[in-house]
Amino acid sequence: MIEKGCEFVFVRKAIVYWKMRKSWKEFAKQFYRYGVGDRKSGNIWKLKKNLIFVFGFWIYIILLALSIFLSFEFLTTLLIPSFLYFLVYGIMFVIKSRKISGIYYAPLLVITKRIAYVLGVSLGK
């Protein structure tokens, strides 16, 4: 659109509508595509928070893989904080939404979203 001479403006009161994804697969695909888009557009280098997250994710995965060979204590040291983070996230969602099922679904959605995004940034075409 920019190539055709269109200008973009910021409108504070703009309302955006989008169709909710119907399945986990579609949800994951959406965030995978966000990751691909961020990499292709160069946004991943501009958004330092996302860049740090992507590198941190891969370091975490490498450490998890190594911990299988190193020691059970190291593995639990890596997994317990992650488990607690997502448990607290689920509890906070339940408090906000007043839906008890959120304690299961909210963490799963976040994990799906983050893994899909990282894979999109790292492997997407």
Quick: pLDDT tens for 77-115. Answer: 888 888 888 888 888 888 888 888 777 778 888 888 889
Query: Does 14 reside within a domain?
Result: no
Stated length of the chain: 125
Query: Does 2 reside within a domain?
Result: no
Query: What's the domain range around 88?
Result: 24-123
CA distance 40 to 33: 10
Residue 32: pLDDT above 90? yes
Query: Does 57 reside within a domain?
Result: yes
Query: Does 17 reside within a domain?
Result: no
Query: Does 13 reside within a domain?
Result: no
Query: Does 94 reside within a domain?
Result: yes
CA distance 66 to 37: 31
Amino acid sitting at position 74: F
Query: Does 18 reside within a domain?
Result: no
Total tally of structural domains belonging to the chain:
1
Query: Does 8 reside within a domain?
Result: no
Going by C-alpha positions, the residue among 106, 112, 121, 104 that lies closest to residue 28 is: 112
Residue indicated by tokens 């976040």: 110
Residue 28: pLDDT above 80? yes
